[in-house]
Each structure stands twice: as C-alpha cells, then as structure tokens.
Amino acid sequence: MNEIHDVIIIGGGPGGLTAGIYTSRERLSTLLLEKMTCGGWPNISGRIENYPGFPKGINGMELSAKFKEQAENFGVEIREFEEAKKIVPGEGLIAVETAKAVYESKVLIIASGSRLRKLGVPGEEELTGKGVSYCATCDGPLYKDKAVAVIGGGNAALEEAVFLTRFVSKLYLVHRRDEFRGEKILVEELEKSEKVEFVLNSFPVSINGDDFVNSITVENKATGKKQDIELAGVFIFVGVEPNSDFFPGAVDLDRAGYVRTDFRMATSHPSIFAAGDVRSGNVRQVAAACGEGVVAALSARDRLRKLKGSSYGR
C-alpha cells in the first residue's frame, strides 16, 4: 500500500527544507525526498556571506546542516538518497514514484533545484575527474601550488575563484564577455590578487590532455585568435539547468524548462507548488529560495484547507 502524506516535498535544498519547516509547524504530515544529501548548492559553496543573520558569514555545509536539523526537529520525515523519478498527478492524490516506492500526497511542493550546465567542448567529458571539476570547494585543495582556470562570470564562478586563490599558484578567469555578471565585491577581491589573470571576451574551445588536463585552448571573440594556456585543472561554472526533466507534462514549464508559478508559488496544477532554483524567475540565491519555500508552504496549507472544505484565513 502506498504511503499517503498531506505534503510531499521534492528536494532538500534551502527552499525545500524551509517549506518543510513551515508545513510541519502547521502539523501537516510532511515527507521530503532528496536524491543526494540535504543542503543543495550551499553544500558546495564554501563560505556564504550574504545570508542574513551571520554577520561574519557561515560555511555552506554548516548552514545546510542547520536547515536540516530544524526541519527534522519540527517533524519533517526526510529520506535522503531517494530520487523522485516520476510525478503522476491524479484527481485526488498526487503520486511520486522513486526507485524504492510510490508515495502519495494531497499537495506537492517541487523544490528540485538546478544542476550545473556543461561546456560541451572536446575533452570535457573525457577529463572529468581528471582535472575537470564543477566544485572548487570539493577539489580545490588538490591543486595546491598549481595553475588552474575558472570558466564563467557569475557569482558561482567568482566565489569559487576567490576560494581557489587560497591554494593555487595561478588562476586564469575565463569569461566570454568583457565584464562580469557577478557581484562587484567579488570582482574587486579578485582584482587585488596577484595570482589572478582575467581572460575576457574569450571562451574555451577544448580541454586538452591524455590521462589528465594539461592545458585549455581559448578563442578571443573579437579577434578569433586562439591560445593554449598550460594548467592542471579547469573549474566550470557556466550557468545552471533546472531539474525538471523527471515530470514532463505535470505542470507548465517555460522555454528553458523552469516551472512557471504565480506569486503564491502555485503552478498550473492546483495542488502543486514550486520554490527555489527550479522555479521560473528565481534569482538563484539562498535567501530567495527560503522565502519562496515559505510562500509555497503556506499556499500548500491553504490548498489543503480548501480541499477539506473548511474556512481559512491568516
């Protein structure tokens, strides 16, 4: 027999865990499914300095642990390493299928987040784990006193570049535009480092090496000139893609695959809500995901009250 809950939350990042804190405080039976360990992006973000309440910043994994502990303290049932494979909306209950079981709920909150986009250049797949990385926090210490490149120009790339300067002897920051999209304070910090060299208006065309990375080839957009840069590691941060491919047709998506919602985090299905990086229009920040998790949880609560036919208000 399938387990039936008031609320199922897919995703254990900041948005999903915050939603769980609120639904469990409403005494709603809440199951949270997370395909890996809880935490999401903060787990690989090193130090987070722009989340309110921590004037000196906080380690990302530490912040994630606090989110999870708080959710569990209020009664959220968390099942890690259980990935949602399919969503089957029904007239009464919504089914969520995993490799282990089928769970059902009256309302669903999708907080499945996003994943890093790949470059798609020769050598990337072959050398992943052999000098190609998508997590500086995980792999940065392996490149002590070595030269590396960071590819990208957003906050993720800049934050990881700052982290890498603690270890590497040289860091090439490669960005296809002539200015960065990330926060100015991060750019200023990198500009002060003698280890950092900006390679702007340029993009990688290949990652080179046999058993391990030994160089990258970049092309200047303006001149078309190519150059090889000798190095030992390449860290790639060129944007994200939504984790929405496991529920085709369940709710409306935008052209990029993100879930469309209104201001209540409501989707095209009346009993399905969304929050965090999987949602269209999200600004990809921990604080924003938490706020959306709050709204999604309260909207889910109101939907349940409506389904029960009771009056509800604030």
- CA–CA distance, 96 with 53 (Å, rounded to integer): 35
Cβ count within 10 A of residue 284: 16
Note if 252 is an active site residue.
no
- CA–CA distance, 111 with 14 (Å, rounded to integer): 9
Note if 138 is an active site residue.
yes
Residue 174, both tokens: 């490669």
Residue 77, both tokens: 């049932």
Contacts of 1 (CB under 8 A, 6+ apart): none
- CA–CA distance, 74 with 85 (Å, rounded to integer): 27
- CA–CA distance, 161 with 302 (Å, rounded to integer): 43
Among residues 204, 212, 154, which one has the least CA distance to residue 182? 154
Residue 113, both tokens: 């987040």
- Write down the catalytic residue from 138, 228, 245, 254: 138
- Write down the catalytic residue from 6, 38, 139, 290: 139
Q: In whole angstroms, what separates CA 124 from the centre of its chain?
A: 21
Cβ count within 10 A of residue 224: 7
Amino acid (1-letter code) at residue 22: Y
Find tokens 């095209």 and name the residue.
268
Per the CB < 8 A criterion, the answer to whether 63 and 177 are in contact is no
Q: What backbone torsions phi and psi does residue 241 show, to the nearest 5 degrees?
A: -130, 145
Note if 38 is an active site residue.
no
Residue 13, both tokens: 């990042």
- CA–CA distance, 274 with 259 (Å, rounded to integer): 7
Residue 37, both tokens: 């360990």
**Active site residue ranges:** 135, 138-139
